[in-house]
Amino acid sequence: MRRVAIVGVGMSKFGEEWTRGYRDMLIEAGSRAVEDAKLSGAEIDCMYVGTMAPGSLVGQEHIGALVVDSMGLIPIPATRVEAACASGGVALRQGYMAIASGMHDCVVVGGVEKMTDTPGNEVASALGGAGDQEWELFMGATFPAIYALMARRHMLEYGTTEAQMASVAVKNHANSSKNKYAHFQNEITLETVLKSKEVASPLKLFDCAPITDGAAVAILMPYEQAKKHCEMPIEIIASAQASDTLALHSRESMTCIKATQIASKKAYAQAKVTPKDIDIVEVHDCFTIAEIMAIEDLGFFPKGKGGKASEDGKTALNSEISVNTSGGLKGCGHPVGATGVKQAVEVVWQLRGQGEKRQVKDANIGMTHNVGGSGATSVIHIMKRDG
């Protein structure tokens, strides 16, 4: 297999983009990535686009054709990738495999979702389809309820507290306040989180990622060709994906995501690194409890210790492990199909030293962790700075 590098990245502003649609956001993100990679459209020979529910949310299907047409890249092949909230991460993995296999030499990977034009109850129903529609959504269990069950079980087994979960939101807002692309650019207090409206006990409004519009793009090439376009190509040194049951009630445990544990072990082995070698990680914090479970499942802290580690500041910028420097899903926003690609964009910026006010000192190796549903899909990428 060939070595694979990211040579260009770009994203649109995340938030409530009332005047812009799929085309506008992807063109903005794609143009920035192409400019960053210093290449022309004629050099691109394949595209993958991660998006979860365009039909339900905006009535548009056939997203691959929409995007390739809008970006002026006809007639290259363009394929939509869907894996619920992991759609972006799985699209990145498809692009990685296309380059590694030798099938293509320049692949654009995009992620996009337009969510805020749709009433909240309809968004909840669309997202709920990422779980077991028959046994969860039909019974009234949307994702706040599913993750609330995980939180309650984690609290029971390990003594995790609501304040520890709230500390995740406080930290991620502190990071997003330094990110000009983020949905939320304001810091919050622990009291703000704890006194916010209850959504599904023990989760409150500020424990939950927002409904967001946005797009992100990364351009991949064989590592050997990357230096022609990029002074500092970022190599993808591992890509792994795993699955678990669709419904939470069928899992072995409610306090971990087994697919994350399996995928991360494969990724560490492929990259020949350990959790201690990772300087920065973007994890899938759709709810604050999800970040706590993620930093445990990825091996950064022992099972049951993620809440205390968060409370003690061990996941803040330039601490024991810098987690969600972008602000994560909670602070930067969660346009579901775009999230996995946005994570890669942030890691690339950090490894290049372009993290601005949120830059992690001497960042050399970064990781992305993107989850679909309540954990039925998990995809991991590990990236390394050149040299």
**CA 219 – CA 207 distance, rounded (Å):** 33
173 and 54 belong to one structural domain: no
In a domain, 96, yes or no: yes
* Residue whose entry in the numeric block shows the structure tokens 């991949």: 220
Which pLDDT score, from 0 to 100, does residue 109 have? Answer: 98
Active-site residue, selected from the candidate residues 154, 183, 334, 369? 334
Instruction: Determine what percent of the chain falls in helix, strand and coil, rounding each to the nearest 5.
Output: 40, 20, 40
What's the angle, vertex CA 131, arms to CA 129 and CA 135, rounded to 5?
95
Which pLDDT score, from 0 to 100, does residue 40 have? Answer: 86
The pTM of the full predicted model, rounded to 2 decimals, is 0.97
Domain that residue 332 falls in: 131-209+237-385
* Closest residue by Cα to residue 48 from 217, 179, 190: 217
Q: Where does a domain end: 170, 201, 234?
A: 234
| Residues 121, 56 contacting (CB under 8 angstroms) | no
Which pLDDT score, from 0 to 100, does residue 365 have? Answer: 98
DSSP H helices in the chain? 22-37, 54-58, 63-70, 87-100, 120-128, 143-158, 162-176, 190-194, 223-226, 258-271, 288-297, 306-311, 328-332, 336-352
In a domain, 126, yes or no: no
Instruction: Specify the CATH number for the domain of residue 21.
Output: 3.40.47.10
Which pLDDT score, from 0 to 100, does residue 22 have? Answer: 87
Per-residue pLDDT of the chain (387 residues; tens, 9 = 90+): 999 999 999 999 999 999 998 899 999 999 999 999 999 888 999 999 999 999 999 899 999 999 999 888 999 999 999 999 999 999 999 999 999 999 999 999 999 999 998 888 889 888 888 889 889 888 888 999 999 999 999 999 999 999 999 999 999 999 999 999 999 999 999 999 999 999 999 999 999 999 999 999 999 999 999 988 888 999 999 999 999 999 999 999 999 999 999 999 999 999 999 999 999 999 999 999 999 999 999 999 999 999 999 999 999 999 999 999 999 999 999 999 999 999 999 999 999 999 999 999 999 999 999 999 999 999 999 999 986
Burial 281-317 (b: 16+ CB within 10 A, else e): bbbbbbbbbbbbbbbbbbbbbebbbbbbbbbeebbbb
Which pLDDT score, from 0 to 100, does residue 230 have? Answer: 86
218 and 352 belong to one structural domain: no
Q: Taking the mean position of all CA atoms in its chain, how far away is CA 171?
A: 17
310 and 202 belong to one structural domain: yes
* Closest residue by Cα to residue 113 from 9, 239, 220, 12: 12
Active-site residue, selected from the candidate residues 85, 106, 208, 332? 85
Count the domains in the chain. 2
Cis peptide before 335 (omega within 30 of 0): no
* Closest residue by Cα to residue 113 from 184, 210, 240, 39: 210
**CA 185 – CA 133 distance, rounded (Å):** 34
Structural tokens at position 167? 């500390």
Q: Is 332 a catalytic residue?
A: no
Which pLDDT score, from 0 to 100, does residue 125 have? Answer: 85
Q: Is 286 a catalytic residue?
A: no
Which pLDDT score, from 0 to 100, does residue 121 have? Answer: 84
